[in-house]
Amino acid sequence: MPTTAETIEQLSTGRDYKYGWSTDIEAETAPPGLDEGIVRFISGKKNEPEWMTEWRLKAYRHWLTMQEPVWPKVDYPPIDYQKVSYYSAPKKAGEGPRSLDEVDPKLLETYEKLGIPLSEQKILAGVVAVDAVFDSVSVATTFKGKLNELGIIFCSISEAIREHPELVKKYLGSVVPYTDNYFATLNSAVFSDGSFVYVPKGVRCPMELSTYFRINAENTGQFERTLIVADEGSYVSYLEGCTAPMRDENQLHAAVVELVALKGAEIKYSTVQNWYPGDENGKGGIYNFVTKRGICEEDAKISWTQVETGSAITWKYPSCILKGDNSIGEFYSVAVTNGAQQADTGTKMVHIGKNTTSTIISKGISAGRGQNSYRGLVQVNKRAKNSRNYTQCDSMLIGNKCGAHTFPYIDVRNNSAQVEHEATTTKIGEDQIFYCNQRGLSEEDAVSLIVNGFCKEVLAELPMEFAVEAQKLLGISLEGSVG
């Protein structure tokens, strides 16, 4: 494989998490705990207008009335929300750097280690614009100039709140209201940063927009908020990648992503998630409780693609509300659980408009003692004539201590709808591995090859350069899972 040499290099140090280093930079961190004062502190740090502070406070007060959900098929000790710090920023933040020259060189080094092509030159050679979020603060957004010419706004959400309040006011919380669910509500109160994208009418964004999230500081929660608005007839492809250092204690990540695809617009949202999964005994690792949802107006399309290899616990259901007639929702997912990882992930496709179509392709891979659940809802409302859904849900088991579970919910209230569900479970075969071995491939390469074949339909949906990264990740995260 083109990547084998690299893979082996990573493997030679054991089943190590490649991104497990932390960066020693001065950070300004809020004391642990959560109350109205902290909410105001965060809002104040960001020089937010009063309406934003009020919105956060409403969310916080609502959160106090809510219970943490217990229905997911994941198991973790209770989280003490008063022990988490809700804000951490590299010092010198506040204003935010105007150009890369102003960014702390140590931070840039960090991003280089992450393999993000952050320096302008590299990016000019590529096709990616990056907004990098380090702990809570958006560090640098590259390629702004070129995007500006097209009227595309790509900036941190904090900047958007200050510079484009009319857009943020109109759309923030329009897809995921602050009352939505326990984690989304918490996020609404304390979100610290994230990305904002606006693509004007009829504009096709010429490059992939990308955000890299990294949790660095100890005992810090990361609560990003991403809002993408694609105006009528526009197109944008967006990718987020995530890593975190190795820490013995669990770190909380509760993000919210809202997508708005107006009439005839298309949003493609891809995630390669590689948060630290914890060690083999389940110590440490990220709790990834994420709410992602998009709304499609008439003739619009939203496509979610996710490759989830990290996190101790993943709780995540990127969803599409197919409100407009003829709108399309897609969900392509690969979720890997190895060691003691647990994932409860899937999607919701809510058909409201006529002739709406949704496709769900989910590939769950369980190894070690990993527990992998697909949970999906396909809902066809009364008015949604001639709606169609196709769901394919495949599970692969490696070894005999892991588990795969499928919870498909189908709720159809219009008899012209057509809903298909297919599910398979396979075990990676010793005969398959022996066949590959006999042709000269090592066991790691064999597993990687077979798994990548299993996930092919999903990987094919990722932008090319990220597909390669995802393939590598799959190989690395399953290292040592056979034999």
Partner 1 sequence: MLEIRNLHARIADEDAEILKGLSLSVKAGEVHAIMGPNGSGKSTLARVIAGDEAYEVTDGSIEFGGNDLLEKEADERAQDGVFLAFQYPVEIPGVSNTYFLKEALNSIRRARGEEELSASDFLKLAREKAKLVELDEALMKRSVNVGFSGGEKKRNEIFQMAVLDPKLAVLDETDSGLDIDALRIVANGVNKLRDQNRAIIVVTHYQRLLNYIVPDQVHVLVDGRIVKSGDKSLAEHLEEVGYAWVDGELKSAQTAGV
> Could you give the C-alpha distances from 119 to 6, 123, 127, 155, in angstroms and in order?
23, 6, 13, 17
Q: Which window, 27-35, 57-65, 91-99, 445-453, contacts partner 1 (CB under 8 A)? A: 445-453
Among 1, 79, 410, 468, binds partner 1 (CB under 8 A): 1
Stretch that binds partner 1, among 58-66, 146-154, 437-445, 471-479 (CB under 8 A): 437-445
Question: Rule CB under 8 A: is residue 450 a binding residue for partner 1?
Answer: yes
Q: Which stretch binds partner 1 (CB under 8 A): 125-133, 232-240, 251-259, 434-442?
A: 434-442
Nearest to partner 1 of 159, 445 (CB atom): 445
Give me the 373-412 binding string for partner 1, x by CB under 8 A, dash otherwise.
----------------------------------------
What is the smallest separation between the CB atom of 354 and partner 1, expressed in angstroms?
Answer: 35
User: Closest separation between CB of residue 467 and partner 1, Å?
Assistant: 13
Do residues 150 and 27 make contact, with C-beta atoms less than 8 angstroms apart?
no
Query: Residue 14 region, left (φ>0) first, then alpha (ψ -120 to 50), else beta?
Result: left
Residue range at the interface with partner 1 (CB under 8 A); choices 175-183, 223-231, 381-389, 441-449: 441-449
Taking the C-alpha atoms of residue 372 and residue 334, their distance in angstroms, rounded to an integer, is: 11
441's tokens:
């491939």
Tell the smallest beta-carbon distance from residue 105 to partner 1 (Å).
Answer: 37
Q: How far is the CB of 308 from partner 1 (least distance, A)?
A: 19
The CA-atom distances, in angstroms, between 124 and each of 81, 117, 235 are 42, 10, 21
Return the half-sphere exposure (C-beta side, CA atoms, 13 A cut-off) of residue 343.
36
Phi, psi (rounded to 5 degrees) for 96: 85, 140
Q: What is the DSSP letter of 222?
A: B
E-assigned strand segments in 274-325: 285-296, 301-308, 313-316, 319-322
Is residue 336 within a helix (H) or strand (E), and if so which, with residue range?
strand 328-337
- Whether 382 and 350 have beta carbons less than 8 Å apart is answered as no
**131 part of the interface to partner 1, by CB under 8 A:** no
| Residue 179 within binding range of partner 1, rule CB under 8 A | no
- Compute and round to an integer the Cα radius of gyration of the chain: 21
Least CB distance to partner 1 at residue 439 (A): 4
Quote the CA–CA distance of 72 and 109 in Å, as a whole number: 38
CA 101 to chain centre: 29
Instruction: Pick from 110, 195, 452, 477 the residue near partner 1 by CB under 8 A.
Output: 452
Q: Rounded CA gap, 161 and 29, in Å?
A: 22
Tell which one of 123, 152, 307, 436 touches partner 1 (CB under 8 A): 436
Question: At 157, phi and psi to the nearest 5?
Answer: -65, -30
Query: Which one of 330, 445, 469, 479 is in contact with partner 1 (CB under 8 A)?
Result: 445
Residue 435 lies near partner 1 (rule: CB under 8 A): yes
**Which CB, 145 or 440, lies closer to partner 1?**
440
Q: Which of 437, 468, 480, 482 binds partner 1 (CB under 8 A)?
A: 437
Token pair in block for residue 88: 């951490």
Stretch that binds partner 1, among 148-156, 224-232, 287-295, 450-458 (CB under 8 A): 450-458
Query: Residues in the site for partner 1, rule: CB under 8 A?
Result: 1, 4, 429-432, 434-443, 445, 449-450, 452-457
